[in-house]
Amino acid sequence: MYDDDYGVGGLLAVYLVLLPFLFILAIAGYVITSWFLMKIFEKAGVQGKWRAWVPVYNTLIFVKLGDLNPWWLLILWGASAVLGWIPVIGGLFPLAAFIYTLLAAWRVGLKLQKEAVWLILYFFLSIVWLGINAFDKSRWNTAIPAAPWAGNFLADNTTWSGVPNQVPAGGFPANPATAPAAGYQPPAGYQPPAGYTPPPAAPAGPAAPVTPPPAAAQPPVTPPPAAAPPAPPAATEPPAAPEEPKP
């Protein structure tokens, strides 16, 4: 009879030894992640620090801050739990859920003045990405162009107490990639793609009254030179005395 001294029994012993360390590592990772989320939520104006410490709920808030509907992420998680046993198809739902959070991280990063290249760090080390955004000097700014999915079913249209609306005051600014600045001229020889229809021009408002330019100032009139005073009359000699007759 074959005696496997290092078979199942050995693996079970290793597992029992590592299990406490894995449990402690998981708890530490959750605490650090929640702490970083709490700092990011503070920057975003989320009310109540406790929201960052509630499992699942904190990620839904993160997705909502990323301009995505949080309920779709919850549906993807539920589908992963229910259909995860199906080969191939079951693995697509966790992947879709991760891509969903990746899109949210892109939008959150833009509001914290991070370029899209920062998603590479989130993809490999999301906890480091969270730590940098939590403690750097960036400030939350919603005045960024609208998300590409702003007009479809992925857009966030929910209202949660304590989580501020992410639509900036006055609406989203124009996207320079889709709305060039006024006066922009395409390069010579550029041909628009087939079927392209330029957007309609904005309706012209009432014409502003034309104010005539102010009249040019007239140069001051120089007064004519004053007339010379009349010359004084010439002095006249007194008349000569009459001569006396000679004797």
Q: Is the pLDDT of residue 219 over 90?
A: no
8 Å CB contact between 105 and 122: yes
Beta-carbon count within 10 A of 32 CB: 13
pLDDT tens per residue across span 93-151: 999 999 999 999 999 999 999 999 999 999 999 999 999 999 999 999 999 999 999 98
Enclosing domain of residue 14: 8-135
> What local confidence, expressed as pLDDT, does residue 62 receive?
98
User: Position of tokens 């900036």?
Assistant: 168
Is 79 part of any domain?
A: yes
User: Position of tokens 């008349």?
Assistant: 239
> What local confidence, expressed as pLDDT, does residue 247 receive?
47
Question: Where does the pLDDT of residue 10 fall: very low under 50, low under 70, confident under 90, or very high at 90 and above?
Answer: confident
> What local confidence, expressed as pLDDT, does residue 65 receive?
97
> What local confidence, expressed as pLDDT, does residue 181 receive?
53
pLDDT tens per residue across span 56-103: 999 999 999 999 999 999 999 999 999 989 998 889 999 999 999 999
Q: What is the DSSP letter of 46?
A: -
Is 211 part of any domain?
A: no
Exposure string for 80-113, b = 16+ CB within 10 A, e = fewer: beeeeeeeeeeeebeeebeebbebbbbbbbbbbe
Is 59 part of any domain?
A: yes
> What local confidence, expressed as pLDDT, does residue 173 receive?
85
Question: Where does the pLDDT of residue 16 fall: very low under 50, low under 70, confident under 90, or very high at 90 and above?
Answer: confident
Beta bridge partners of residue 68, listed in sequence order: 155
Is 210 part of any domain?
A: no
Is 205 part of any domain?
A: no
Helices assigned H by DSSP within 112-238: 119-124, 126-135
Non-local CB neighbours of 240 within 8 Å, separated by 6+ positions = none
What is the count of structural domains for the chain? 1
Is 55 part of any domain?
A: yes
pLDDT tens per residue across span 19-38: 888 899 999 999 999 999 99
